[in-house]
Amino acid sequence: MNFVFLSPAFPPNYYRFCAALKNEGVNVLGIGDSHFGELRPELRDSLAWYYKVGDMRDAGQLRDALRFFTGRFGKIDRIDSLNEYWLETEAGLRSEFGISGVQADAVSQIRRKSLMKKVFARMAIPHARGGIVADHAEAHALAAELKFPVIVKPDDGMGAEFTYRLNSPADVDRFFAGKPDRNFIMEEFIDGGIVTFDGLTGRDGEIIFCTSHVYGQRVMEAVLADMHISYYSLREIPRDLEDAGRKLVRGFAVKERFFHFEFFRRPDGTLCALEVNIRPPGGMTMDMFNFACDIDMYSVWAKLMARGETLLTYDRKYHCGYAGRKNRLNYAHSHDEISARLGSMLMHQEELPPVLARAMGDCGYLIRAREAAEIETAVDFIQALS
């Protein structure tokens, strides 16, 4: 099996996907813009070949790489990066080279927030009202209907990039005065905390693994305020959340892919769908899957890719939490104090690359415990300011 992995060096922990594929006997062929010698040794050892391009956004260079691989290794069976940034690129290459997976004519539904809303509606999942706004007049009219505050964000955006809360007509005018040249969607502001339904599906869309996370802060507000974030996994998924998540797995026809669905939990307890992501959750969440259940989801995914294997027995033994810290903030406790205080609860600590720091922090801590209250107390200690 020939598997092309786009940008295997980023995010940093994704080298484990390549290593797991190699362990299953897969020929792993990497395409990236880093020099081969700059790749971590574990990644270099996992690749049968690495093709360096000058610009990953140049479709012509990516086509040249695939033609080279086809000539040297034969038919390409799969191509992926498991990274939202490359979803459309991958889909286009699959369609052009006859590779199985999400195709170019289907990728918009899982990238465009305006199209996601149509699926939410079809599956009877409550969601934020809103729509594309092309100019001042449309924006003012929709804001008057939705009532301030409203949220504007790119229709094809990732994470919280270019996401703003507008509180008045004057804010609308200021936004359009500096608006980037791309389509933006305006939505009603939903008061509530973020909860997720995350997992992996098999070839027929069956759920192999699922879990849920609760966020301590909205990512958008954390990014805008340049503050740290935290979130942790649940040992039991609320029934209404799992029901809604399973509906969306069917509605978006998620097959042989990870999924990361975000919802608001309103103060009255009801759910409101925010968006879908047909890829693993960001940051170190893949590793949180593993620490929470004592499993290896990198290996589970690789077995699915290599042989279609979907057997997985697991228990959510622990809550696993993430606590980010930002270098600009003065924290009350040093790393040594955190290590001494948390002891065996502390599973991992890592410095994060600058591109992730705005949302996830300059460094992140992974902690686990059997009780959610223990996680919350540990997060408070890690993020306490002096």
Domain boundary residue, one of 66, 84, 102: 102
Would you state the pLDDT for residue 224?
Answer: 66
Q: Are 79 and 87 in contact (CB under 8 A)?
A: no
Percent share of the chain, pLDDT over 90? 84
pLDDT value, residue 160: 66
Residue 100 to residues 10, 15, 33, 203, 264: CA-CA distances in angstroms? 23, 22, 25, 11, 34
Q: Looking at the predicted structure, is the pLDDT value of residue 220 above 70?
A: no
Phi, psi (degrees; rounded to nearest 5) at 270: -80, 160
Q: Do residues 353 and 302 both lie within one domain?
A: yes
Predicted structure pTM score: 0.94
Confidence category of residue 219, pLDDT binned at 50, 70, 90: low
Residues 168 and 197 in one domain: no
Shared domain check, 167 and 144: yes
Query: Is residue 108 included in any domain, yes or no?
Result: no
Give the residue numbers spanning the domain of 361.
193-383
pLDDT, one tens digit per residue, over 191-201 is 999 999 999 99
Q: Do 292 and 147 lie in a common domain?
A: no
Cβ–Cβ under 8 Å, residues 349 and 363: yes
From 85, 102, 119, give the residue that closes a domain: 102
Residues 80, 176 within the same domain: no
Q: Are residues 87 and 176 in the same domain?
A: no
Average pLDDT score over residue span 151-170: 86
Exposure letters 310-326 (e unless 16+ CB within 10 A, then b): bebebebebbbbbbbbb
Evaluate whether residue 107 is within a structural domain: no
Domain membership of residue 110 (yes or no) is no
Q: Is the pLDDT of residue 308 over 80?
A: yes
Residue 131 · residue 186 · CB < 8 Å: yes
**Which pLDDT does position 20 carry in this prediction?**
98
Asked if residue 325 belongs to a domain, the reply is: yes
Does the structure show a pLDDT above 90 at 39?
yes
State the CATH number of the domain containing residue 361.
3.30.470.20
Same domain, 60 and 144: no
Within a domain: 113: no
267 with 335, same domain: the answer is: yes
Q: Are residues 25 and 164 in the same domain?
A: no
pLDDT(126) > 90: yes
Q: String of b and e for 216-246 (b: at least 16 CB within 10 Å)? A: bbbbbebbeeeebbbbbbbbebbeebeebbe
Residue 221: pLDDT above 70?
no
- Do residue 14 and residue 88 come from a single domain? yes
Cα separation, 178 vs 220, whole angstroms: 19
pLDDT value for 44: 98
For residue 211, give Cα distances in angstroms to 12, 292, 334: 23, 10, 31
Domain with 168 in it: what CATH number?
3.30.1490.20
pLDDT in tens, 312-356: 999 999 999 999 999 999 999 999 999 999 999 999 999 999 888
Average pLDDT of the segment spanning 182-189: 93
How many domains does the chain contain in total?
Answer: 3
Question: Are 174 and 210 found together in one domain?
Answer: no
Residue 359 tokens, joined = 């949302």
* pLDDT average, residue stretch 164-172: 93
Question: For 236-246, what is each residue's pLDDT tens digit?
Answer: 999 999 999 99
Q: Which of 209-223, 248-262, 276-290 has the lowest mean pLDDT?
A: 209-223
Judge whether 116 lies within some domain: no
Same domain, 182 and 306: no
